[in-house]
Amino acid sequence: MNEMTMDRAYRPHGLAHGQQGVLGAPIARIEGPAKVSGTATYAYEDAPAGTLYAAIVGAPVPRGRVTGIDAAAAEALSGVVAVIHDDPRMVTGGSNSQGAAHSGTDAIFHYGQPVAIVVAEDQAIARDAASRVIVSVEEAPARLAMAEQAIEQDHDLGFLPAIDKGDLDAALADAPVTVDLAYTTPVHFPAALEPHASTVWWQDGTLTVRTSNQVIGAARTTIAKALGLDTDKVRVLAPFVGGGFGGKTGVGPEVILAAIAAQKTGRPVKVALPRGQTAYLVHHRSATTQRVRIAATQDGRITAFAHEGVAAQNDDARFLEPIPFGSLPLYGGENRRFRTDLVRLDLPATGAVRAPGEAIGTFAVECAMDELAERLGLDPVELRRINEPDVDPVSGKPFSTRRLLDCYDEGARRFGWDQRNRTPGARREGEWLIGHGMAAALRGNFTVKAEAEVRLEANGRAVVACDMTDIGTGTYTILAQTVGEMLGLPIAAVEVRLGDSDLPPSAGSGGSFGAGSACAAAALACEDILSDLARRMNAAPEDLTLKDGCVTAGGRSVALPDLLRGEPIVARGKTAPGKESQRTSQASHGAHFVEVAVNAITGEVRVRRMLGVFDVGRVLNAKTAANQLIGGMVWGIAYALSEEAVVDPRSGHFVNPDFGEYHVAVNADVPQIEVHFVEEIDDSANPAGAKGVGELGISGAGAAVINAIYNATGVRVRDFPVTLDALLPGLPAL
C-alpha cells in the first residue's frame, strides 16, 4: 500500500512527467455508449427472479403520534403479499451527513413520514394498496411557517461554528459607507432525474442492495447499523447513478423498509419513489432568511463584513445549512461575523443539496456587493478586486492557490464587460431591457480518505478499481485518464470498475471531494507500479518514460508485456487529508458574467448569454469539468428565476412536489454558456492537484443573474426567485 497523508505539498512523479497526454484532455465519457444504448444497469433494473414491488405509506399529518394502522383493505387486494408496519427497525427518515433518523418510534416528525410498507406482485397493485392503508393519529399543533417560530442561537446543529472577529458593531458605526440588507431564499429540492430507487435481496444471511446512492461505503455502514448487521453482511452496488445533487448522499428510509420487507417475505424487493413522494422522503435545502452588513471606506475598502442567516430543521435530523460557508474567505475586512441560527419546523428533513451554504449564501453576499458598489460609484468587478485578501481573512492562513483576480480579468475580457452600461434601465432593444451582471464564485476544497487498486495485467492493459460512484460526473473517464497518464497507456487500455462496496473504499461522490480523492489514490497505486517497472529496467522511477504501452530508460525501450513476462503487478494507493489542509486555506474559485433581457411590458426574463472562468487546480478532463460547471450555472439560472418549493402552512404539504409545478430549468431556459479555466495545479490539495468542480458552478451563478436583472431594469429584488409580480411594478416605462 502506497499511503500518502497530505502533511506536505506533493505531486506524484508520474503526474508531473507523464507523456501519454490523456490527463486533462477533453475526452468523451467512456461509459457513454453503455448509457445511450441502454446497457448501463441502474438501480431499478435487472431484478432477480420473483421480485416483489414496494410502496411506502406516509403519515397523514405533520406532527403527532401514530395510534393505529388498519391494513385490512390493502391486504384484501389480490396480489398484495404483505403490509409491514410494526418492525422496530423501521426508520422515520433518511440518513444524512450528521447521522441516521430515528427508528422504532410512533412519533410523527412531518407529513409523509414513512409508517408502513406494502409489497405486492406488481408496482401498480402496491401503490393502490398503499392508498388503502388507514393510519390513525393523535395530531399535535405543527410548526410550519419559519417567520412564526422562535430563533435558536444556542444550538449544536451543523458543522460550521459561529465566527465573531474584531469589533463589528464599532466598525459599522464608524464607516462612511454601509449596507444593511435582508434576503430570502425558498425551499429547494435536489431534483435528480433518476428516481430514488433500490433493488434488495437476501442470500445466505447477506443483504445485497443495488441502489441509487452517491456514497456507498457510508451507505453500507448505515444499512448495517439500521438492520443490526455486521458490515460484511451488507453489499451495496451502484455502478451507475442518474444524478444525486446531495439528495442521495444518505440512505433513504425506503431502502431500510425494502430490506425489512425482503427479509420477511423471503423474496427480492424493488422500490422506487414516485416523484411526488420524493419531496417527503428525501431531504431538501432549507428556506433561509439572510442579513448582510458591510462597512467600507469611501474608496471601497471593506472594514466590516457580516453574513448572518436563519435556516430550518425538524426534530429528527442534525444537519443545518451552513449559509455563510462560501462567504468566509471571499473578501477582506478585519471585523467579521458569520453565523447560522436555527428554527424548528415540522417538515421533512433539510440536508446537503449541491453546494450547501455556497449556493444560496452567495445570492445574498454577491447581490450585497453589487449594492455596495453602486453606493460607492464603483464598478462591481473593481470593488471585488479592491477587497481581494492576501491571506484567508478568517484564519490568517495562506491560500494554497488562488487565481480569483485572473478569473475576474479573463472573464471581463471574454465577456466584453467594458461595454456594460452602468446606468440601470438605460439599454433597450425594442421592448426589451438589456442588462449585464457578474458575481464571484467560491467552493471550499476537501480531501477525504480514499483507496484504489490498480492492476497492470500481463498483456499490458490496466484495471483500476474502487467503490467510487459515477453520478453522471465522469468518474469512469477521469480515473482511466489518471491511470493512463501514469502508466503510459491509451484510454482504451484501461478498465475502470466502480460502484461496489466490496471494492477498495473510496470517497464517494459528494462535496466536490470525490474526483480529487479517488484520482489521487489511483495515482499513488501507480507510483508503486512505476517503482516495480523501474527495478526491472535497472533505472530510477524518475528516469522512466512511459508512452503507448512502452517503457523507455537509458536508451532502451521495452513493451509492457515483455517487461512483465506473464506476471501482473498489483498495487494499492491510499490518500488522506493531513497537516497541509490545516496549514493552508483551500478552495476553488471563479467569476460569472451574465447578459439578460427583460421585457418591459410583460416582465419576462431571458438569460441570453452566460460566461464563467474558473480556478479548479488541475483540470482532470476539460470536457467533463466544463459540463459540471455548466450544469451548476444552469441550476443558478433556475434558482434565480423559477425554483421554489411552496409549503401549505395549514397542512405541511408541498404544493408543488413534482416537475409539473417545481420548475427546474429546461432547454428553452438555457442560453449560450461558455466555460474557461485558469489552471494552476494545487499540490497542497491532494496528490492529483485537483480541486472541486461539481459545486463551484452553482456558487454565485444565481446572483450574477439577479445583478444583471437590476442593471437591465433598475428593480432590485431581494426575495428569490425573481417573479413577475416582483418586477412589473418597478419596470421603467417604454
Tell me the per-residue pLDDT of 498-517, one tens digit each, with 9 for 90 and over: 999 999 999 999 999 999 99
How far apart are alpha carbons 468 and 480 in whole angstroms?
13
What local confidence, expressed as pLDDT, does residue 447 receive? 86
Task: Residue 315: count other Cβ atoms within 10 Å of its Cβ.
Answer: 15
Residue 540 has pLDDT above 80, yes or no: yes
Those residues with Cβ within 8 angstroms of residue 355's Cβ, 6 or more apart along the chain or in another chain: 326, 443, 632, 695, 696, 698, 699
Q: Quote the percentage of the chain above a pLDDT of 90.
A: 98
**Cell numbers at 118, concatenated:** 406494502
Those residues with Cβ within 8 angstroms of residue 14's Cβ, 6 or more apart along the chain or in another chain: 485, 486, 487, 523, 526, 527, 530, 546
Those residues with Cβ within 8 angstroms of residue 363's Cβ, 6 or more apart along the chain or in another chain: 183, 185, 290, 639, 702, 703, 706, 720
- Can you list the alpha helix ranges (DSSP code H) found in 387-513? 404-415, 475-487
Q: What positions carry a catalytic annotation?
A: 695
- Can you list the alpha helix ranges (DSSP code H) found in 252-357? 253-265, 275-281
What local confidence, expressed as pLDDT, does residue 466 receive? 98
Those residues with Cβ within 8 angstroms of residue 584's Cβ, 6 or more apart along the chain or in another chain: 397, 398, 399, 400, 684
- Can you list the alpha helix ranges (DSSP code H) found in 508-660? 514-536, 560-564, 579-583, 622-641
Full 3-state SS string of 445-460:
CCCCCEEEEEEECCCC
Mean pLDDT of 449-469: 98
Task: Residue 244: count other Cβ atoms within 10 Å of its Cβ.
Answer: 27
Mean pLDDT of 423-443: 98
Cβ pair 431, 618 in contact under 8 A? no
How far apart are alpha carbons 702 and 407 in whole angstroms?
18
Residue ranges matching CATH 3.30.365.10 in the chain: 2-24+447-496+506-576, 380-446+584-726
Task: Residue 48: count other Cβ atoms within 10 Å of its Cβ.
Answer: 14
Strand (E) positions, 647-731?
672-677
Does the CA dihedral 465-471-476-477 come out positive or negative? negative
pLDDT tens, residue by residue, 571-604: 999 999 999 999 999 999 999 999 999 999 999 9
How far apart are alpha carbons 348 and 616 in whole angstroms?
34
Among the four given CATH numbers 3.30.110.60, 3.30.300.30, 3.30.365.10, 3.30.530.20, the one describing domain 380-446+584-726? 3.30.365.10
How far apart are alpha carbons 249 and 691 in whole angstroms?
20
473: nearest Cα among 705, 650, 697, 153: 697
Q: Which residue has the cell 497492470?
A: 456
Q: Which residue has the cell 426574463?
A: 605
Residue 88 has pLDDT above 60, yes or no: yes
Cβ pair 669, 597 in contact under 8 A? no
Q: Which residue has the cell 454565485?
A: 700
Compute the mean pLDDT over every residue in the chain, rounded to the nearest whole number: 97
Task: Residue 21: count other Cβ atoms within 10 Å of its Cβ.
Answer: 13
Collapsing DSSP states into helix, strand and coil, what is residue 419?
A: helix
Task: Residue 416: count other Cβ atoms within 10 Å of its Cβ.
Answer: 13
What local confidence, expressed as pLDDT, does residue 96 receive? 72
What residue type is assigned to position 165 of the chain?
K
Which H/E stretch holds residue 74? helix 72-75
What local confidence, expressed as pLDDT, does residue 46 receive? 85
How far apart are alpha carbons 220 and 295 in whole angstroms?
49
Confidence bin at 374 (pLDDT 50/70/90): very high
What residue type is assigned to position 46 of the chain?
D
What torsion do the CA atoms of 143, 144, 150, 151 make, to the nearest 10 degrees?
130
Q: Could you tell me which residue, 98 or 149, shows the higher pLDDT?
A: 149
Cβ pair 668, 733 in contact under 8 A? no
What torsion do the CA atoms of 247, 252, 258, 264 make, to the nearest 10 degrees?
170
Cβ pair 74, 118 in contact under 8 A? yes
Mean pLDDT of 437-446: 97
How far apart are alpha carbons 309 and 163 in whole angstroms?
13
Q: Quote the percentage of the chain above a pLDDT of 70.
A: 100
Confidence bin at 97 (pLDDT 50/70/90): low
How far apart are alpha carbons 378 and 585 in whole angstroms?
29
What local confidence, expressed as pLDDT, does residue 98 receive? 58
How far apart are alpha carbons 664 and 512 in whole angstroms?
22
Cβ pair 465, 453 in contact under 8 A? yes
Q: Residue 12, exposed/middle/buried by CB under 10 A (0-12, 13-18, 19+)?
A: buried
State which fold the 2-24+447-496+506-576 domain adopts.
Aldehyde Oxidoreductase; domain 4 (3.30.365)
Cβ pair 80, 74 in contact under 8 A? yes
What local confidence, expressed as pLDDT, does residue 100 receive? 79
Does the CA dihedral 420-421-423-426 come out positive or negative? negative
Residue 352 has pLDDT above 60, yes or no: yes
pTM across the whole model: 0.97
DSSP 171: H
What local confidence, expressed as pLDDT, does residue 437 receive? 98
306: nearest Cα among 338, 340, 342: 338
